[in-house]
Amino acid sequence: MGVTTMARERPVVAIDGPVGSGKTTVARLVARRLGYILVDTGAIYRCLALAARTGGVDWQDSSGLASLAALISVKFKDGENGQRVFLDGSEVTEEIREPRISAGASRVSAHPEVRAALLGIQRKLGQNGGVVMEGRDIGTVVFPDAEIKAFISGSPEIRARRRFDELVARGVQVDFDETLREVIERDRRDEQRAVAPLKPAADAEMIDSGPFTADQVADHVVARVEKYLREVGN
Protein backbone atom coordinates (compact mmCIF):
# COMPACT_ATOMS: atom_id res chain seq x y z
CA MET A 1 0.00 0.00 0.00
CA GLY A 2 1.45 3.35 -0.99
CA VAL A 3 1.23 6.66 0.73
CA THR A 4 -0.59 9.53 -0.90
CA THR A 5 1.70 12.42 -1.71
CA MET A 6 0.30 15.78 -0.64
CA ALA A 7 1.55 19.32 -0.31
CA ARG A 8 2.63 19.94 3.27
CA GLU A 9 3.45 23.35 4.74
CA ARG A 10 6.06 21.74 6.97
CA PRO A 11 8.03 18.61 6.08
CA VAL A 12 8.09 15.11 7.39
CA VAL A 13 11.59 14.46 8.74
CA ALA A 14 12.38 10.74 8.53
CA ILE A 15 15.28 9.54 10.68
CA ASP A 16 16.15 5.87 10.32
CA GLY A 17 18.98 3.71 11.55
CA PRO A 18 19.99 0.63 13.52
CA VAL A 19 19.90 0.12 17.29
CA GLY A 20 22.35 2.27 19.23
CA SER A 21 22.98 4.69 16.39
CA GLY A 22 21.76 7.63 18.47
CA LYS A 23 18.82 8.30 16.17
CA THR A 24 16.34 8.57 19.05
CA THR A 25 18.38 11.28 20.77
CA VAL A 26 18.96 13.08 17.48
CA ALA A 27 15.26 12.93 16.58
CA ARG A 28 14.34 14.34 19.99
CA LEU A 29 16.77 17.24 19.59
CA VAL A 30 15.62 17.99 16.04
CA ALA A 31 11.95 18.00 17.04
CA ARG A 32 12.63 20.27 20.01
CA ARG A 33 14.63 22.79 17.98
CA LEU A 34 12.10 22.94 15.16
CA GLY A 35 9.03 22.81 17.38
CA TYR A 36 7.87 19.69 15.54
CA ILE A 37 6.00 16.68 16.90
CA LEU A 38 8.24 13.71 17.70
CA VAL A 39 7.01 10.22 16.85
CA ASP A 40 9.22 7.37 18.05
CA THR A 41 7.85 4.50 15.96
CA GLY A 42 10.17 2.04 17.64
CA ALA A 43 8.39 2.77 20.91
CA ILE A 44 5.14 1.59 19.32
CA TYR A 45 6.67 -1.81 18.55
CA ARG A 46 8.23 -1.91 22.01
CA CYS A 47 4.80 -1.27 23.54
CA LEU A 48 3.33 -4.11 21.52
CA ALA A 49 6.13 -6.44 22.66
CA LEU A 50 5.47 -5.46 26.28
CA ALA A 51 1.70 -5.85 25.91
CA ALA A 52 2.21 -9.28 24.36
CA ARG A 53 4.51 -10.39 27.14
CA THR A 54 2.07 -9.15 29.77
CA GLY A 55 -0.91 -10.69 28.01
CA GLY A 56 0.68 -14.05 27.30
CA VAL A 57 0.89 -13.63 23.52
CA ASP A 58 3.99 -15.28 22.10
CA TRP A 59 6.32 -13.00 20.14
CA GLN A 60 6.20 -15.54 17.30
CA ASP A 61 2.37 -15.57 17.14
CA SER A 62 1.84 -13.25 14.17
CA SER A 63 -1.97 -13.39 14.12
CA GLY A 64 -2.22 -12.97 17.87
CA LEU A 65 0.14 -10.00 17.76
CA ALA A 66 -1.77 -8.39 14.89
CA SER A 67 -5.03 -8.74 16.84
CA LEU A 68 -3.38 -7.25 19.92
CA ALA A 69 -2.00 -4.36 17.86
CA ALA A 70 -5.54 -3.35 16.97
CA LEU A 71 -6.48 -3.16 20.65
CA ILE A 72 -3.64 -1.34 22.38
CA SER A 73 -3.43 2.42 22.83
CA VAL A 74 -0.04 4.13 22.61
CA LYS A 75 0.35 7.82 23.41
CA PHE A 76 3.28 10.21 23.67
CA LYS A 77 3.43 13.13 26.08
CA ASP A 78 6.15 15.71 26.64
CA GLY A 79 7.54 15.81 30.18
CA GLU A 80 10.25 17.65 32.10
CA ASN A 81 12.72 14.85 31.32
CA GLY A 82 11.70 14.34 27.71
CA GLN A 83 8.95 12.47 25.98
CA ARG A 84 7.02 9.92 28.03
CA VAL A 85 5.33 6.85 26.58
CA PHE A 86 1.98 5.50 27.76
CA LEU A 87 0.54 2.07 27.00
CA ASP A 88 -3.19 1.75 27.66
CA GLY A 89 -3.00 4.70 30.04
CA SER A 90 0.02 3.52 32.06
CA GLU A 91 3.48 5.04 31.67
CA VAL A 92 6.00 2.53 30.30
CA THR A 93 8.81 4.89 29.23
CA GLU A 94 11.57 3.06 31.10
CA GLU A 95 10.09 -0.44 30.95
CA ILE A 96 10.03 -0.60 27.16
CA ARG A 97 13.76 0.25 27.04
CA GLU A 98 14.79 -2.87 28.97
CA PRO A 99 16.95 -5.27 26.89
CA ARG A 100 14.37 -8.08 26.92
CA ILE A 101 11.67 -5.78 25.52
CA SER A 102 14.09 -4.34 22.97
CA ALA A 103 14.73 -7.88 21.73
CA GLY A 104 11.00 -8.54 21.70
CA ALA A 105 10.34 -5.41 19.64
CA SER A 106 12.74 -6.67 16.98
CA ARG A 107 10.93 -10.02 16.90
CA VAL A 108 7.37 -8.69 16.73
CA SER A 109 8.31 -6.12 14.09
CA ALA A 110 9.44 -8.91 11.74
CA HIS A 111 5.84 -10.12 11.25
CA PRO A 112 4.16 -8.69 8.11
CA GLU A 113 0.75 -8.78 9.82
CA VAL A 114 2.05 -6.66 12.69
CA ARG A 115 3.70 -4.09 10.44
CA ALA A 116 0.50 -3.81 8.40
CA ALA A 117 -1.57 -3.35 11.56
CA LEU A 118 0.64 -0.50 12.81
CA LEU A 119 1.40 1.18 9.49
CA GLY A 120 -1.85 3.15 9.37
CA ILE A 121 -1.29 4.46 12.90
CA GLN A 122 2.18 5.72 12.00
CA ARG A 123 1.04 7.42 8.79
CA LYS A 124 -1.86 9.12 10.52
CA LEU A 125 0.51 10.58 13.12
CA GLY A 126 2.70 12.19 10.46
CA GLN A 127 0.45 12.87 7.49
CA ASN A 128 0.19 16.63 8.06
CA GLY A 129 3.94 17.20 8.34
CA GLY A 130 5.72 19.22 10.99
CA VAL A 131 6.81 15.91 12.46
CA VAL A 132 10.06 14.08 13.14
CA MET A 133 9.57 10.33 12.80
CA GLU A 134 12.30 7.94 13.77
CA GLY A 135 12.51 4.21 13.24
CA ARG A 136 13.91 1.69 10.80
CA ASP A 137 11.66 2.00 7.75
CA ILE A 138 10.26 5.53 7.87
CA GLY A 139 11.95 6.70 4.67
CA THR A 140 11.42 3.43 2.81
CA VAL A 141 7.92 2.30 3.84
CA VAL A 142 6.04 4.59 6.23
CA PHE A 143 6.78 7.88 4.47
CA PRO A 144 8.67 7.23 1.22
CA ASP A 145 7.63 10.77 0.22
CA ALA A 146 9.23 12.38 3.31
CA GLU A 147 10.83 15.67 2.38
CA ILE A 148 13.89 15.13 4.61
CA LYS A 149 15.48 11.71 5.07
CA ALA A 150 18.51 10.76 7.13
CA PHE A 151 19.94 7.32 7.87
CA ILE A 152 22.10 7.42 11.00
CA SER A 153 24.52 4.57 11.57
CA GLY A 154 27.88 3.64 13.11
CA SER A 155 30.03 0.61 13.80
CA PRO A 156 28.53 -2.18 15.97
CA GLU A 157 31.18 -1.54 18.63
CA ILE A 158 30.40 2.17 18.89
CA ARG A 159 26.67 1.52 18.93
CA ALA A 160 27.03 -1.22 21.56
CA ARG A 161 29.09 1.11 23.76
CA ARG A 162 26.42 3.81 23.42
CA ARG A 163 23.69 1.30 24.28
CA PHE A 164 25.74 -0.09 27.21
CA ASP A 165 26.35 3.37 28.69
CA GLU A 166 22.66 4.24 28.33
CA LEU A 167 21.59 1.12 30.24
CA VAL A 168 24.21 1.58 32.96
CA ALA A 169 23.09 5.20 33.43
CA ARG A 170 19.56 3.89 34.05
CA GLY A 171 20.84 1.45 36.69
CA VAL A 172 20.49 -1.67 34.55
CA GLN A 173 23.11 -4.36 35.16
CA VAL A 174 24.48 -5.36 31.77
CA ASP A 175 27.60 -6.90 30.27
CA PHE A 176 29.29 -5.08 27.36
CA ASP A 177 30.15 -8.23 25.40
CA GLU A 178 26.57 -9.40 25.70
CA THR A 179 25.34 -5.98 24.63
CA LEU A 180 27.58 -6.15 21.55
CA ARG A 181 26.25 -9.61 20.68
CA GLU A 182 22.69 -8.32 21.02
CA VAL A 183 23.42 -5.35 18.74
CA ILE A 184 24.91 -7.61 16.06
CA GLU A 185 22.02 -10.06 16.33
CA ARG A 186 19.48 -7.22 16.21
CA ASP A 187 21.14 -5.90 13.05
CA ARG A 188 20.99 -9.35 11.48
CA ARG A 189 17.29 -9.79 12.23
CA ASP A 190 16.34 -6.28 11.12
CA GLU A 191 18.36 -6.41 7.90
CA GLN A 192 17.21 -9.89 6.88
CA ARG A 193 13.50 -9.74 7.71
CA ALA A 194 11.28 -10.34 4.70
CA VAL A 195 9.13 -7.23 5.16
CA ALA A 196 10.50 -3.69 5.48
CA PRO A 197 14.10 -4.70 6.16
CA LEU A 198 16.45 -2.19 7.72
CA LYS A 199 18.08 -0.29 4.87
CA PRO A 200 18.53 3.35 3.89
CA ALA A 201 16.15 4.90 1.39
CA ALA A 202 17.79 5.58 -1.94
CA ASP A 203 17.44 9.33 -1.38
CA ALA A 204 18.41 9.36 2.32
CA GLU A 205 21.53 11.14 3.52
CA MET A 206 23.90 8.69 5.19
CA ILE A 207 25.31 9.97 8.50
CA ASP A 208 27.96 8.10 10.50
CA SER A 209 27.28 9.26 14.05
CA GLY A 210 30.51 7.77 15.41
CA PRO A 211 32.72 10.88 15.10
CA PHE A 212 29.99 13.33 16.14
CA THR A 213 27.90 14.21 19.16
CA ALA A 214 24.12 13.97 19.00
CA ASP A 215 23.97 17.77 19.07
CA GLN A 216 26.21 18.01 16.02
CA VAL A 217 24.15 15.52 14.06
CA ALA A 218 20.94 17.30 15.10
CA ASP A 219 22.42 20.65 14.01
CA HIS A 220 23.10 19.18 10.58
CA VAL A 221 19.58 17.79 10.17
CA VAL A 222 17.98 21.04 11.37
CA ALA A 223 20.11 22.98 8.87
CA ARG A 224 18.80 20.72 6.10
CA VAL A 225 15.20 21.36 7.15
CA GLU A 226 15.73 25.11 7.31
CA LYS A 227 17.35 25.08 3.86
CA TYR A 228 14.39 23.12 2.50
CA LEU A 229 11.91 25.60 3.99
CA ARG A 230 13.74 28.52 2.46
CA GLU A 231 13.74 26.86 -0.94
CA VAL A 232 9.98 26.20 -0.89
CA GLY A 233 9.22 29.62 0.59
CA ASN A 234 7.84 28.50 3.96
What residues does each domain of the chain span? Answer: 12-232
pLDDT in tens, 50-72: 999 999 999 999 999 999 999 99
> Within 10 A of 142 (CB to CB), how many other CB atoms are there?
26
User: Which amino acid, 46?
Assistant: R
Q: pLDDT value at position 197?
A: 87
| pLDDT > 70 fraction of the chain, expressed in percent and rounded | 97
**d(C-alpha 136, C-alpha 28), whole Å:** 16
Give the pLDDT band (50/70/90) at residue 227: very high
Greater model confidence, 78 or 217 = 217
Q: In CATH, what class is 12-232?
A: alpha beta
Sign, CA dihedral 159-154-43-105, equals negative
Question: Whole-number mean pLDDT of the chain?
Answer: 91
Q: pLDDT value at position 159?
A: 94
**d(C-alpha 229, C-alpha 136), whole Å:** 25
| pLDDT > 90 fraction of the chain, expressed in percent and rounded | 69
**d(C-alpha 122, C-alpha 40), whole Å:** 9
> What is residue 14's DSSP assignment?
E
**228 has pLDDT over 90:** yes
Alpha helices in the chain (DSSP H): 23-34, 41-55, 62-69, 99-108, 112-126, 156-169, 176-192, 214-232
Q: pLDDT value at position 4?
A: 46
**d(C-alpha 102, C-alpha 145), whole Å:** 28
> Within 10 A of 87 (CB to CB), how many other CB atoms are there?
22
Tell me the angle at which helices 176-192 and 156-169 cross, rounded to the nearest 10 degrees. 120
Give the three-state DSSP class for 230.
Answer: helix
Greatest mean pLDDT range, 8-12, 22-26, 192-196, 218-222: 218-222
Greater model confidence, 149 or 7 = 149
Radius of gyration of the chain (CA): 17
pLDDT in tens, 168-214: 998 888 999 999 999 999 899 889 887 788 999 999 999 999 999 99
